[in-house]
Amino acid sequence: MAEKQEGRTGKFPGGKPGVYLAAAVLAFIALVIAVYIFRDTTIEGEADFGPPGDAVEDLRKAAEEARAFLKITPGAKVAEGEPSLARYWECHHVEIADTLEGVAAQVEEGLCDYVVIDSLWVRRHAPGLKTLITGVDPLPGAGLVYRRYFTQAEKLISVYRRGAPALRINPSLTRDNQAKLLTRAAEYKTRGYVEHARQLFTGLAKAHPNNEYFHLELMKIYIIYGYYDGVSLDRADDELLRYAFLVPDQDIRPLKEAIQTVRLQHQALWGGL
């Protein structure tokens, strides 16, 4: 019991578990999707796993950051529902196919260099591309290289690059770098890079399965994903159970209800897809 107490009080940056739980409930009520705000911190001496930038809601600024990070060449061919990023990137817009097979054919035939998936556009115009909203490698011949969540608009933008490997973050966890990686994961989540954060928190949770904070953060990310794909809500349930096992004194009913609310919202928005 003493060992568990030490893990609980020593690894929550800035507060106790109950503070995070209360904040999560408020965020669920306000936005349905839980998002925590962490302090802005810079990590020195390590290569970045992901793109730079602050938490922004402005698409133009986000597009400029993505262009710099991805080293987009002007004139590249961008398959997209509407020519938003293609325009900001000074690239050629290619009308995206409305099925996964169709997009895969565009990639295979070299008709596009990048595939941009806007979750709002997909839901309204091409629900057959739903798996590309939250997937990492569902598109043959193209890997996920960029994903950003816009809190106020409640949408995910994902970018797949033809011939690129899918985003994989497998940091080497050591006693010296774990605190830095935790801070980095929180930064990514704050700035909307939820896939970078998910992979980092997954690595941290694997190394420290008895740290309830990591499971709570993973739960919130899977709720964001579940709003779009539905199936990630099962992962959110799993992470909540792990959290509840490690923190038996916490009332998790508000979080269970929040997950169910998002599940109903997903069904209302997407139907049986």
Q: Report yes or no: 177 and 171 within 8 Å, Cβ to Cβ.
A: yes
Point out the least confidently predicted range of 20-29, 116-125, 151-160, 245-254.
Answer: 20-29
C-alpha span between 160 and 7 (Å, rounded): 39
**What one-letter code names the amino acid at 246?**
L
Helices (H), strands (E): how many in the chain?
12, 5
pLDDT, residue 49, reads 41
pLDDT above 50 (res 107): yes
Domains and CATH numbers, the chain: 2-46+169-270 (1.25.40), 59-162 (3.40.190)
Q: What is the pLDDT of residues 211-254, one digit of tens each?
A: 999 999 999 999 999 999 999 999 999 999 999 999 999 999 99
Provide the mean pLDDT of the chain. 81
Q: Report yes or no: 112 and 94 within 8 Å, Cβ to Cβ.
A: yes
pLDDT above 60 (res 20): no
Beta strands per DSSP E along the chain: 77-80, 92-95, 114-118, 142-150, 155-162
158-180: b (≥16 Cβ within 10 Å) or e: bbbbbebebbebebeeeeeebeb
**What one-letter code names the amino acid at 233?**
L
pLDDT, residue 273, reads 61
- Percent of the chain's residues with pLDDT above 90: 59
- pTM for this model (two decimals): 0.79
Cβ partners under 8 Å of residue 238, min gap 6: none
pLDDT, residue 21, reads 52
Q: What is the pLDDT of residues 25-64, one digit of tens each?
A: 444 433 443 333 222 222 222 334 445 555 556 788 888 8
| pLDDT category of residue 179 using cuts at 50, 70 and 90 | confident
Could you tell me the two tokens for 8?
Answer: 């609980």
C-alpha span between 75 and 90 (Å, rounded): 6
